[in-house]
Structure 1
Amino acid sequence: MPTDIVIKADNKVIPAVLNDTLAAKEFKKRLPFKVTGNRYENDYCCPAACCVFNPTETQSGWKNGDISLAGGWFAILFDGEEASRDYRGMMVIAHIAEQDLRLIRDLPESVQFAVELAG
């Protein structure tokens, strides 16, 4: 069952939804979760320990708004969907709705994220 979360950064509160993957369920156990990362062309990347995941739940590419936890990185992917299909092994754990992506795109180059359960 999907779980509502919020991502707090730079005095903004961004709603998102954890999916039903094993990795998302494991990530939920870490909440509240804090991490600092930097902005790149299509995402914010933050070093983070991987969690248990099911390899059959990985995918190639992402949708703008996906949140991934894989390969030692927590990533908030806000752009580049159309050119992302060559990226294999993506473990998407959550998603930010299109209408809220402007909140991510407006963040500074370096930022601390706090991920919590909504409510």
Structure 2
Amino acid sequence: MADKIRLKFGDADVLAQLNDTETAHAFSSHLPLTVHVSGTGVDFCGRMPFSLPYEQEQVHNGWTNGDVNYNPGGGWLAVLYDGEKGSERYGDQVVMGKIVPEDLPRMQELSGGYDLVIERVEGE
């Protein structure tokens, strides 16, 4: 079973479910983790302090709103909440998980930069 995680954007908590891939399991093994992220209007993105394993067939263009992605070429973490339409022009995306649907609107209310704290949710 893949891990449920909490993403803490300052006072706002957002839950996500990691998928059952080597990339997501490796990411989870580094938690808890703090990554400085900046908002772009469609996501919060920040450079990861380590690289993650992935299968080449996982790498694709675009995203679905709510994806938690790893960009292996640049070493970026992206928490995507908007811009799905037209996102296919952005490559090098590896999906590690998904924001729970009820928390997606909360992401759209956030802006600016954060020291994003990511931790496993125990007992769920």
* TM-score, with structure 1 as normaliser: 0.91
**Equivalence for 2:17:** 17
SS at match of 1:37: strand
Cα distance, 1:88 vs structure 2? 2.2
In the TM superposition, 1:29-108 aligns within 5 A as 29-48=29-48, 49-70=50-71, 71-108=74-111
Count the aligned residue pairs: 119
Per-residue deviation, residues 62-111 of structure 1 (Å, max 9, x unmatched): 00010111221111111010111122221111110232112222223111
Residue ranges of structure 1 left out of the alignment (5+ in a row): none
C-alpha distance in structure 1 between counterparts of 2:85 and 2:78, whole Å: 17
* Partners of 1:37 and 1:111 within 8 A in 2: yes
What's the % identity of the aligned pairs?
30
C-alpha distance in structure 2 between counterparts of 1:89 and 1:108, whole Å: 24
C-alpha distance in structure 1 between counterparts of 2:51 and 2:65, whole Å: 21
Amino acid at match of 1:24: A
SS at match of 1:79: coil
C-alpha distance in structure 2 between counterparts of 1:16 and 1:94, whole Å: 7
* Partners of 1:45 and 1:74 within 8 A in 2: yes
* Partners of 1:7 and 1:16 within 8 A in 2: yes
C-alpha distance in structure 2 between counterparts of 1:90 and 1:108, whole Å: 22
* Misfit runs of 4+, over 3 Å: none
Cα distance, 1:40 vs structure 2? 0.5
The RMSD of aligned alpha carbons is: 1.3
